[in-house]
Structure 1
Amino acid sequence: MSQSGKIFRARNVPVATLRRLRVIPSYFFLIWRWGMWLYAFIVIVFSQPSYIDTPGTNYHTMAALLLTITFIETLIVTLYAPVLQIVFPRLLSRASRQRKKQGRREHLHEQLEDGAEILPPFVQTRNHYWNIAIYSMDVVICGLVMYFSGPFSNPPFGLGSPFYRYGMSTVFAAASAFSYKGGLLAALGYNLFALLGMFVHAPGAVPYTPNAVDVVGSLVDTPILAVLVAYLSNLLENYAHSKRQERENARTQAALVHIGETLLKSTGDRQELLQRSIKPIQHGRFDRLTIALVDLLHDEDVPIGPRAQQSKTIICTESTISTDALPDDSENLIQKVLHNKQKLLTFDPLKNEQSGIARLYVPLHIDGHVQLVLGAESLRMTPFKPQHEKFLTIAGTQLLVALENIRLAEQTVQLAADAERGRIARDIHDGIAQLTYMLSLQAETCEAQAQRIIEASEEDAELIAPLAERLGKMVTISKQALWETRNYMFSLKPLMSGSTTLTQMLDNQLREFQAISDLPTHLTVEGSDQDYEEQRLHSRRYAQIGTTFFRIVQEALTNAYKHAQATRLEVCLRYHADHIEVDICDNGRGMPTRLNGTPDIKESYLAVEEPHILSGHGMGGMRERAAELGGQFNVLTTPAGGTTIRVSIPL
């Protein structure tokens, strides 16, 4: 047994103790009713010689009839009492026992969680008015029995009836079920039959003049009984509720300790963490538990689409019941909670059953965004209660803390990797990049000197020409080496770190490209990122958008230099309310077109013969980068020549 179970076992109140507290009023009611029926039976049997039949009344027949009616009534009340399974379990048929066993199995959570409620003496239905009608009918029957049995003794009403104490049990039952109001109303109704017997004597009654003792004795007992029973029932209910709360707190603390132990043993994998923590949360409380994690590595400012939203949600489910008995609609309910950002509490009654399907889905937020959803489903008699929501909230908060620790650990690793890449980029810049740049300058100087010698001396031109050609290739290769080196530097170091904006990043990129390629470049900016919210500018998605634009512009510039034979490049950056758009335009030869008029990108690559600076993954890579963020990628050509690459990515 785990340490948590040892800690909280002493504080756990046994379920049997709560069950005994719940059924105390019912026990007393049944004992009272059967005892008073037996008392009436003894009184009638042993007082039989004193009864004198009258022309209108046969006391023997009346006594037998009243005893039979009260016996049948008491037997029916007993057989349909909620405590029948405890008092007379063997009176049930096998089918009834199986149904009750099935009901106990289906409503195990109900018995554990609603154990503080006092069981009513009579059968209890879902309809409150039916319950009132049942208790009212019992008051009427007991009152009529008392009224017609009044002539058996003196006085011929109320206290003189052998069934007077038997009928008082109906006041006991009403006070137990409906507290003070119900008990006093039942006492009033019962006393009305006593007053009826006082002023309108029952058949067979002898003339009698009421006195104060008989009147007070017949009317004061039932109100006092109603008040006492209601008071004691409230005390029992409050005591049982406190014990129930103590036991529930102990179970909750033990469960939370178990969950905490599970989280401490967790690894850095989110999926594994959810799988290991779902059982301790679900065990003994819910028939099915679903945990949905919205991936914290993705930004949730604006959903990209249904498929992207689904791909960023990790769902784990643990169930102890089949889908036939408890249909699984958790995915749709989770999507509804993610959309509304509010808890979902429903209860669907089952046909021809007393139970229903209770569902509770609780969202947990971080910075206003839903990051975790815990969904509980069970077959119950009633909907889930606030303590269930509280438990799921506490357990979910612990789980969120563990997930946040995983994210911080990953972020620490990422920051360390970024720092190391930054160091390597600085070393490349201060070392090999500078040497390559000097080599490129020296090669260009030598090539220019060789060209001047060729132009100055025709005799040396034949000897110097091969050298000039090799020097030209060396210049191209050195520029390619410098280009690749600086590409590595940009790939290693963060692109939008600190206060660097997207506009500044692209401007620096164009300056770098112009310095290497000697192609004039120009950046045009429409709008400003200052119109966006501060939270959006520092979000992870905005950083991803900046990185994607940098890589696409880098590839487009390189392809233009490599294939287009352009003499000028234009980049236009447009900030819109819901998206950002970038155009990369050149004045080169354009692209060959297919028969349908679309650009033939592959053919344009194959047409290149001259050695140029090599590049990366081409148009396919740029299109994939844009699609990853839900953006659009288009290649446009004009009849006058030139190519425009247009990329649009939603915020």
Structure 2
Amino acid sequence: MSIARQLFKALPDTTLRRVRNTPSYFFLIWRWGTWLYALIVILGSDPSHKNSPVYNTCLYLLLITLLQTLIVTLYAPMFQVFLPRMSRQKTARSQKSQRAPSEDAEPEITPPLVRTRNIYWDIAIYGLDVIICGLVVYYSGPFGKMPNFGVGSPFYRYGMSTAFAAALAYRYKGGLAAAAGYDLFVLLGVFFPAPGPAYQPNIIDIAGSLIDTPLAAILAAYVVFLLAQYTSSKKLVQGNVRQQKALRNIGEIILRQSGDKQRLLQKSAEAIRIGGHFQRLVVALITSPVDEEQDERIHKETLDGAPMLEIETCIDVDISVPEPKLPDRDETSLQWVMAAGKKMTSFEQLVGIADPQEKYARLYLPFFKDGQVQMVLGAESLCRAPFDSKQEEFLSTAGNQLLVALDNIRLTEQTVQLAATAERVRIAREIHDGIAQIVYMLSLNAETCATQAHRIVEASEEDAELVTPLAERLDKLVTVSKQALWETRNYMFSLKPLMSGTTTLSQMLTNQLREFETISDLPVHLEIKGTEQGNDSDRKTAYRRAQVGAAIFRIVQEALTNAYKHANATQLWVNLTYTPADVEVSIYDNGCGLQSAYYSYDLSMKGDHQRIYSGHGLRGMHDRAEELGGTLELVEVPEGGVKVHARIPTAI
């Protein structure tokens, strides 16, 4: 294998594709080849030409065209294609100007001359090239003597390359405009010849000098047109392949990440962004009601009949290139698509973008389930054309595929929740029909026996000494059985009505205290201050209030249990206070208290390193309050007894 072939194979694949699909390298070959031709003609001319004054002019023109060709070559995009790693500066500049296409994307046709961010500067560069080539041909025309213009110049073919350059960059209009400008200098040589030997022009010489360049420009523009059609077709095929591959990847991601919704969204968003050739992809998952009751309570109808929706999860996936950067995501557009349920497209100019042809293209699509927006997919890019129908179709297909996967995850979670709820209901029913009934009968029998024993003690002094210990033990058995019955009833309390909003915290506590009084025979005084806020606000706030209510309910439940089991109290008080910012509850009794000084209890330790009473009740109350950002205090009442005070904020 030759060295040249090895070097050619060593070029990156993307560079090879650019070389195969870019005709601009013909421009460089033509310009250098025709310059060498002019060099040979001028230096190899006979003595009669060398003695002519035009000879020295042609030598100066050789130097000028050499500098021109070197500058054009060094700053030509084609030169960076052949040597993509020539300098870090050029590489960095090209990274900023490129759109960072995917690995299999066919590149655009590279222009022959340097490209700037300003179209007027580009026109000026091509116009300057035409002027230089035209003047060179004009002043070197007399070197040929017959004719002393146009084809008589050794630089005539060199000058034709300026029409090639314009035709490759601007197709027919650019090529014909450059050819017309070039021919003006030929006509200038016909009517106002440059200094040199005199010559009488004829129609053949004039026609030959004027026709060649326009025909060559038309041919070059036609070749570029065919190549552009091929490139467009190739891009279309590659786009279809890329999108099909992305859809397949999304399917694989759905199978692998079916148990992790967040990771599923992240991976799928990246696959959709690559497949659609977007610079940014936005995935917004809209909250959906848990059940019909919550839907009626939370999703109130607005004036225009649209439900109040909120974003549950929003993921942005951007392309990992430093430039050009997209502006921050517009929340207003996302909210509009959610509320209106319609797609949103825009293609607008941004301030501060170097390339005036680049605009900010956006496409946001809503996805529905049961007539309600469940998800929004948004695509954003800086490009020279708005998103087409194929990109919209791909985004719609991928979004529907992702929505089905998310719905399957939601149904799976609901199935698990329903199974757990059904199991809890079954256990509660078994407790009610089995253990609760047995404990209740035990409590009744123990209470009957205790009453009978006390009657015997009162009726017979002889048997009192023997029966009194039995009566005391039966009294303790009655207390223990009632405590067991209360504990059993606690497990059967369901917070579903409170969480769904069909009942309030005040109602739940009232029912709980009524049942506690029935079982324990201890009076409980309930005082409610303030007004409980309704759950007619947004979904997050309503769910937060339901969480706070559930925590307050369980704290009261545990405090009553501790007071009943350990305090030996005769009365209990529960104060419930509602404020705009939080919910407070205080539970205190007139019992024996904790006797913290005697037992050296540190009430500030929150039960982390010691147990007060028994079990983990106090620690559980602290955990419930702290999980929601609240506090819980345990205080001894000076008159006797213990006070449990909890405060939990309702704000998120």
TM range, smaller chain: 0.5 to 0.7
Normalised by the length of structure 1, the TM-score is 0.68
* Corresponding position of 1:608: none
Mark the CA change 1:128 to 1:314 in structure 2 (over 3 Å): closer, same or farther. Answer: closer
- Partner of residue 578 from structure 2, selected from 574, 577, 580: 574
The one-letter code of the counterpart of 1:626 is: A
Mark the CA change 1:472 to 1:584 in structure 2 (over 3 Å): closer, same or farther. Answer: same
* Corresponding position of 1:609: none
* Corresponding position of 2:623: 624
Post-superposition shift, 1:23?
A: 0.9
1:6-31 per-position Cα deviation (integer Å, ceiling 9, x unaligned): xxxxxxxx97995356312x144234
- Partner of residue 61 from structure 2, selected from 55, 58, 66: 66
Which protein, 1 or 2, shows the higher relative CO under an 8 Å CA cutoff with sep ≥ 6?
Answer: 1
Gaps of 5+ in 1: 1-13, 302-311, 327-332, 350-359, 606-613
The one-letter code of the counterpart of 2:586 is: I
1:551 paired to 2:551: no
Post-superposition shift, 1:50?
A: 7.2
SS in 1 for 2:465: helix
Which runs of structure 2 are paired with 1:421-570 in the superposition (5 Å)? 421-490=424-493, 494=496, 496=498, 500-503=502-505, 504-518=507-521, 519-522=523-526, 524=528, 526-530=530-534, 532-533=536-537, 535-536=539-540, 539=543, 541-561=544-564, 562-563=566-567, 565=569, 567-570=571-574
Post-superposition shift, 1:591?
A: 6.2
Gaps of 5+ in 2: 1-12, 291-297, 299-311, 336-349, 353-361, 608-612
SS in 2 for 1:149: helix
Cα distance in structure 2, aligned partners of 1:157 and 1:141: 16
Mark the CA change 1:315 to 1:233 in structure 2 (over 3 Å): closer, same or farther. Answer: closer
Mark the CA change 1:285 to 1:631 in structure 2 (over 3 Å): closer, same or farther. Answer: same
SS in 1 for 2:585: strand
Contact 2:104 2:238 in 1 (8 A): no
SS in 1 for 2:526: strand
* Corresponding position of 1:255: 246
The one-letter code of the counterpart of 2:554 is: R
Post-superposition shift, 1:625?
A: 0.9
Contact 1:18 1:244 in 2 (8 A): no
Q: CA RMSD in A?
A: 5.8
The one-letter code of the counterpart of 2:56 is: T
Mark the CA change 1:51 to 1:178 in structure 2 (over 3 Å): closer, same or farther. Answer: same
Cα distance in structure 2, aligned partners of 1:443 and 1:86: 98
The one-letter code of the counterpart of 2:57 is: M
Mark the CA change 1:421 to 1:297 in structure 2 (over 3 Å): closer, same or farther. Answer: farther
Mark the CA change 1:45 to 1:339 in structure 2 (over 3 Å): closer, same or farther. Answer: closer
* Corresponding position of 1:11: none
Cα distance in structure 1, aligned partners of 2:632 and 2:331: 29
1:79-114 per-position Cα deviation (integer Å, ceiling 9, x unaligned): 654444777x7xx9xx84999999999999547466
Contact 2:456 2:464 in 1 (8 A): yes
Identity %: 46
Give aligned pairs, total. Answer: 572
Cα distance in structure 1, aligned partners of 2:628 and 2:233: 55
1:603-637 per-position Cα deviation (integer Å, ceiling 9, x unaligned): 999xxxxxxxx875333321211211223334567
Mark the CA change 1:49 to 1:564 in structure 2 (over 3 Å): closer, same or farther. Answer: farther
1:269-291 per-position Cα deviation (integer Å, ceiling 9, x unaligned): 568868997997899999x9999
Cα distance in structure 2, aligned partners of 1:370 and 1:557: 46
Contact 1:341 1:363 in 2 (8 A): no
- Partner of residue 139 from structure 2, selected from 148, 153, 157: 148
Contact 1:135 1:174 in 2 (8 A): yes
Normalised by the length of structure 2, the TM-score is 0.67
Contact 1:292 1:374 in 2 (8 A): no
* Corresponding position of 1:203: 195
1:56-97 per-position Cα deviation (integer Å, ceiling 9, x unaligned): x6133334443454355445545654444777x7xx9xx849
Contact 1:109 1:284 in 2 (8 A): no
Post-superposition shift, 1:238?
A: 4.1
Cα distance in structure 1, aligned partners of 2:104 and 2:63: 41
Post-superposition shift, 1:227?
A: 5.9
Mark the CA change 1:108 to 1:383 in structure 2 (over 3 Å): closer, same or farther. Answer: closer
SS in 2 for 1:570: strand
* Corresponding position of 1:33: 31
Mark the CA change 1:239 to 1:137 in structure 2 (over 3 Å): closer, same or farther. Answer: same
The one-letter code of the counterpart of 1:143 is: G
1:314-357 per-position Cα deviation (integer Å, ceiling 9, x unaligned): 999999x9xxx99xxxxxx9xx97999979xxx9x9xxxxxxxx
Cα distance in structure 1, aligned partners of 2:380 and 2:626: 33
Mark the CA change 1:481 to 1:52 in structure 2 (over 3 Å): closer, same or farther. Answer: closer
Cα distance in structure 2, aligned partners of 1:580 and 1:115: 61
